[in-house]
Structure 1
Amino acid sequence: MAELSLPDLDPTSDRAVFRQIADHIRNAIERRLLAEGDKVPSEAQLMQHYGVARMTVRNALQVLQGEGLTVAEHGRGVFVRSHPPVRRLASDRFARHHRQSGKAAFIVETEGAGGKPSVDLIEVTEERPSAEVAEKLGITLEDLVVCRSRRYLINGQPVETARSYVPVEIARGTRIAEPDSGPGGIYARLEELGFQLDHFVEDIQSRMPLRDEARALKLAPGVPVFRLVRTAYTVDGRAVEVCDTVMSSDAYVLSYELPAR
């Protein structure tokens, strides 16, 4: 344990030994004595330092993995999990000048954080809307929508999935219905079609991921997600798009500027 100094166990504590060990390593991560990408002391090192059995150490490491703080790599050890630092600014990311310059919101956010954005798993279909989507768009369950499904990555690491729903009478036959929607994304295409955007409404909830979501985002056990449902409105109050996004909670800081008047 020469590289990292961990405290000894407290024999007077009623806290389980494996939880004390997890507390020590968590504290080292929070104090950045162990930085993102650093290797956590091995099982053998922890066993020797604390004088405990291997199962006790494994239970401690499992606690940290369950909290999303570490990730185990087969044959290499346990490492402090990296978290792509993206600050999502509610007041700026959908500003018109970004899409007029040919950049969608995800590109603006990621490049602003010094990351490399990419998109994969793009699929475009026509389907009937869910009750939630139909209500937000003001259409019936029998109407059709164009659904654009995709996954967003930062430096090759998946951080969110998104499904956008646009009424078929707006999107069919346009670039919105093509895999590559063009510079500025679908909001730029909507405004080119005459649907001038006025504002967006976002509903955000935090929950544990579904199995398919955890697999798509390659989430460690115990990492929750944000589900963000955004509705885009035109200047005349019409809802023209609903976007259902699932975001890895440890990849984003949601930042909002709220007026006090």
Structure 2
Amino acid sequence: MIELGQVDRGADAAPFKQIARQLREAITDGRLEPGARMPTEQQLLEHYGVARMTVRQAMNQLRSEGLVVAEQGRGAFVRTAPPVRRLASERFARKHRDAGKAAFIAETEGLGKPSVDSLHVTEGHAPDRVRELLGLRSNAKVVSRDRRYLVDGTPVELATSYVPLSIARGTPITHEDPGPGGIYARIEEQGHRLVSFTEEVAARMPSPEEKRALRLPDGTPVLTVLRVAFAEDGPVEVTETVKASHSFVLEYSFPAV
């Protein structure tokens, strides 16, 4: 077992919190690496000399923080999910569309096998905020594309994209497979050359449905990203994403002027 401290029974922090802190530090400093088996309940009982319930409270604390996952019949392990690095200044580059790569394929390249499921394409009216962002009239319709993204079979992101029907009608944007380069390539083929994107990033706790879809442990927050794509003639697409926070690093670059 890794080297751990002891419980200070005169400290203000409860014993289970002290144990959780010591184990958390062992994870964050690398003594317990991703995928490593956590010390067993019996090992912790013998080391700390505390009640079984105290050890279980400590482990429950780490699970609620998303640091540890329990596997039936095998024990507890340090979470292994690798971050997916988003290069926001580069992932929408035209060179990726020209190479037939959609944005998610570009951002996960070299990090695992990307895939998509739970894909639904529908036609209807947009939510009020999306309609306003796209500058659409109240009766204008959009094509909505709902999907779940996975890396090596692990869900990492939920996304819904909205494209004005006036742009999407009669194109592969209305199909489950929009073709090489994704929907941005199809938008540009309709004469709307993309010139910029804006993204609004926030964090919150997931809804029960999002927690199930992303298979999130208790206590794991999500990142939300609202993206607007602009062409030379104005906004042409909005995407709302919900990302498993432990699977992403958001990286941006911008001029210092």
Superposed, 1:198-237 pairs within 5 Å as 198-236=195-233
Q: Does 1:62 align with 2:60?
A: yes
Q: Does 1:250 align with 2:246?
A: yes
Q: For residues 82-137 of structure 1, what are the alpha-carbon distances to aligned partners after superposition, in whole Å with 9 as ceiling and x for unaligned?
A: 2322211111000000110001111111114x311111111101121111111001
Letter in 2 for 1:226: L
Q: Does 1:180 align with 2:177?
A: yes
- TM-score where L is the length of structure 1: 0.96
Find the counterpart in structure 2 of residue 35 from structure 1: 33
Find the counterpart in structure 1 of residue 73 from structure 2: 75
Match of 2:91 among 65, 90, 93: 93
Find the counterpart in structure 2 of residue 197 from structure 1: 194
Say how many residue pairs are matched. Answer: 257
- The separation in 2 between residues aligned to 1:143 and 1:78, in whole angstroms, is 52
Letter in 1 for 2:66: G
After TM superposition, give the deviation of residue 231 of structure 1 in Å: 0.6
Letter in 2 for 1:239: P
After TM superposition, give the deviation of residue 65 of structure 1 in Å: 0.9
Identity %: 54
Find the counterpart in structure 2 of residue 240 from structure 1: 236
- The separation in 2 between residues aligned to 1:6 and 1:171, in whole angstroms, is 59
After TM superposition, give the deviation of residue 139 of structure 1 in Å: 1.1
Find the counterpart in structure 1 of residue 105 from structure 2: 107
Structure 2: which 5+ residue stretches go unaligned? none
- The separation in 2 between residues aligned to 1:185 and 1:14, in whole angstroms, is 56
Find the counterpart in structure 2 of residue 6 from structure 1: 4
Structure 2 SS opposite 1:161 = strand
- The separation in 1 between residues aligned to 2:124 and 2:32, in whole angstroms, is 48
Structure 1 SS opposite 2:109 = helix
- The separation in 2 between residues aligned to 1:139 and 1:50, in whole angstroms, is 63
Match of 1:131 among 128, 132, 143: 128
After TM superposition, give the deviation of residue 172 of structure 1 in Å: 2.0
After TM superposition, give the deviation of residue 170 of structure 1 in Å: 1.2
After TM superposition, give the deviation of residue 6 of structure 1 in Å: 1.2
- TM-score where L is the length of structure 2: 0.97
- The separation in 2 between residues aligned to 1:109 and 1:165, in whole angstroms, is 21
Structure 1: which 5+ residue stretches go unaligned? none
Find the counterpart in structure 1 of residue 162 from structure 2: 165
Alignment RMSD:
1.0
Letter in 1 for 2:134: L
